[in-house]
Structure formats: structure tokens, C-alpha cells
Amino acid sequence: MKIFKFGGASVKDAESVKNVSMVLQSQGFAKCLLVISAMGKTTNELEKVVELYFKKDNYQTEIEKIKRKHIEIAEGLFPENHAVFAEINLFFDDIDSFLRRNKSPNYNFVYDQVVSCGEMISTKIVSEYLNEIQFTNQWLDARDYVKTDNSYREGVVNWTNTEELIARLNNESCYVTQGFIGSDENNFTVTLGREGSDYSAAIFAYCLDAEAMTIWKDVPGVMTGDPRKFQDVTLLSNISYEEAIEMAYYGASVIHPKTLQPLQQKNIPFYVKSFVDPTKEGTKVGASDKNQNEESYILKENQTLLKISTRDFSFIAEDHMSLIFGYLSKYKIKVSLMQNSAISLALCLEDKFNTIDELNNELQKVFETEVVKDVSLFTVRNAKMENIDKFYQEKSVLLEQISKNTLQMVTK
């Protein structure tokens, strides 16, 4: 079986959905499972609905705007009396009904129940359209197959249950399902982390022993840098799982960090290709004697630099580290870079849940701290060390770290 994942940009409007069918035609639509993201910027728009709901503001107008956009997309794909229009209305009625009935003050719980609807609606439209043009497929609710704990917005997959459920699928059929979502033991929706659709595709690939997995993007493949941020970048045609994992960890947006481990465990080849020109080879990630180690550039923005030091000039010891990392886990803050000296620890952090101030308040009971928000982590992989001076030009460097072939700096 082949797994294809299409992101939001590839299904942003009616013409884009039609282009998905052209991509499938070029690849052969047989024995495949499609993982589809929410259309365009729908996830951002549904996040706004949740924010307005908690502010007790008029979220209904925003829901109506998102519904109208999806109906317009469907009008470009289906005759006016098609059943999909009733389905779209039903999904949006469900969002409104949930928010009117909800009593939970848990932001993350409410977020997952609302924001996940973007994927549900998107996949229903794409599945119905493909059936309409004789690309026969079955629509699946991913929540019936991907089982997680109840860590809302960062669900941890229960692999035993998930494998058992996905193994029931027919390997000879074609399916359309959602990325980004699963469900807990009470069947409440749990999302797998922002941009988690790639991870969903890898979960299905692993559990189905897929022949290959392909992510379709609006770029030619994995580049030596984001072309929107760096000049003169080139395509990496072959890279190893290890290199891809490093790039994803450092913040390469083209690959989701959790995606690669399930694929590597079963040695499933992973391709990143362009839905604009599906005939091009793109990037292959996997075991190969052609793998490249080119100098690559990654910019991870919206980071926070936290400097921690002891009040009595004693060493930052193991018990201090244990306390600090316990708090990081409690507040779901991820470490992008760390550097310690005898009496201080510097951490470049990713604050997805906006809890950095709470963390800092806890730490200030024991340590001296300094917080610098809105910094960037710039990483050069496979750096040519004889030329690294150029990377410091016009940058205010707050922290730097150099290993054998990697240069990293936190900049303001």
C-alpha cells in the first residue's frame, strides 16, 4: 500500500482539489490511503473561533465565515443538489452545538474538539469529489483508528490499540482520512500537535507496512533552506533518516519531527514531492548510498531564551537540572537548544502553550532568571567551518554553540 499526504495548501480551493486528482492520476490510484489536512488556513481560523469563545465574544460570525468558504469550494466541485452540502452544514452545526453545550473550562480540550473539524470537513469534500470522478474510495474517521491518551493538543499514540485497529483495513482498497487527529479512551478528539498530519501519515504507513509514503508540498522537496527565508538554496534529492530527523528537530518546516521514527523502524521510504509538478523526483528519505550531506540552513522563529543561574554561585548540579526539567515537562515547554556552565544554564525554548511566564514564576522561587522573548534559533547543518564568519554578519547573537558539523546561534 502507498500512503499519500496532502497538506492544507494542496486543497485550499476547488482548483487545488481538482489538482489532487491529477496528482493521483499521475501516480496511479490503487491500493492507497490519502491523509488530508484542513483546507488552506482553516486551522488558524478555527483557532480564532476557540479564542473568541473563551473571550465570550461573537464566535458564531467566524464559524459562518468558515462555513461559507467551504460551501464555495464545494460549489466549484459538485452539482448544487449534491449530498455533500448537507454534510458540510452538519459539521458546522456540530461545532456550534458543542460550544453552546460545553461546560469544560479546559482550553486544550475545547481546542481539540473544535479545530479538528477542519480535517473532517476537508476529507469529506475530497473523498466525495474523488468518488464523483470515479476514483473509488472509502472515507475513514481517523479517530476510529488512531488511539491516544488524553493529552489534548499533544496526544501520545497508543500504538498497541492503533496497530490492531488499522490492521483491519483492506490493503487492496483506497481510503481518504484525516491527519492531525485521534481519540482517547472516551472517544473525545485529541490532536497530535500542530502540523501533525505528516505524523498521522507515518502512523498509517507503519501500521499498514506501506510500500512508501509521500508528502505532497508546494516546494520541489527538501531544500537546503526554506526558499522564503534563504537565497540560493538547492534540492536535496537523497537524505538519510538520521539527517532528516536532525533537520526536523532543528525546525525544518517541511518535515514534522515525529514523522520519521515510525518509518525508520520499518525502513519505509519517505518522499517529499511537489503537487505543482508531480513528475519531478523530489526528495527521497531513507537508506541509500546516494545520501547527501550538504550545508543546510534552518531558522526556527518565535523562540524564548531563558537564562537560569543559582543565587549563591553554587554549581548547577544534577538536582537543579532535575527540578528545571520537571517544570519544563509540567508546562509542556520544549527545549530547542541548551548550554550550561558551572553556575548557569541557558535554554532556547519553544512555548507552544504560552506557559513560559508560569514556568518563570516557578523557577524564580529557587533561581535567578532572565527571559528574552521573540528570539530565533538559526542552525547550519554540515557547516563548512572555514566559512562560518559570514553567518555572524548583521546578527545580534545572544548564544552560540558549535559541534563537529553544526553551528547554532540564538539571535534577536
CA proximity to 125, closest of 26, 39, 30, 45: 39
Query: Rounded distance, CA 316 to CA 314, Å?
Result: 7
Residue 82: strand, helix, or coil:
coil
8 is in an annotated binding site: yes
Q: Is 5 annotated as a binding residue?
A: yes
CA distances from 115 to 148, 195, 215, 239, 281 (A): 17, 12, 22, 34, 34
Burial level of 70, CB count in 10 A (0-12/13-18/19+)?
buried
Q: Give the C-alpha separation, 295 to 23, whole Å.
A: 31
Which residue is listed with cell 460545553?
102
Q: How open is the CA angle 322-323-325, to the nearest 5 degrees?
A: 65
Q: Is 43 assigned a ligand-binding role in the annotation? A: yes
Supply the angle between the helices 84-101 and 117-132 in degrees, to the nearest 10: 170
Q: How far is CA 398 from the centre of its chain?
A: 28
Question: Pairing mode, if any, of strands 397-402 and 406-411?
Answer: antiparallel
CB 275 within 8 A of CB 216: yes
What CA–CA distance (Å, rounded) separates 336 from 379? 11
Across 185-211, b (16+ Cβ under 10 Å) vs e yields eeeebbbbeebbbbbbbbbbbbbbebe
Name the residue with cell 533561581: 367
How many H-runs (helices) and E-runs (strands) does the chain carry?
A: 12, 16
Asked whether residue 228 is marked as a ligand-binding residue, the answer is yes
- The answer to the question of whether 7 is labelled as a binding residue is yes
User: In DSSP terms, which residues pair with 214 in a beta bridge?
Assistant: 4, 271
Distance CA 183, CA 143 (A): 5
Binding-site residue ranges? 5-8, 43, 119, 228
- Binding residues for substrate are 43, 119
Binding-site residues for ATP sit at 5-8, 228
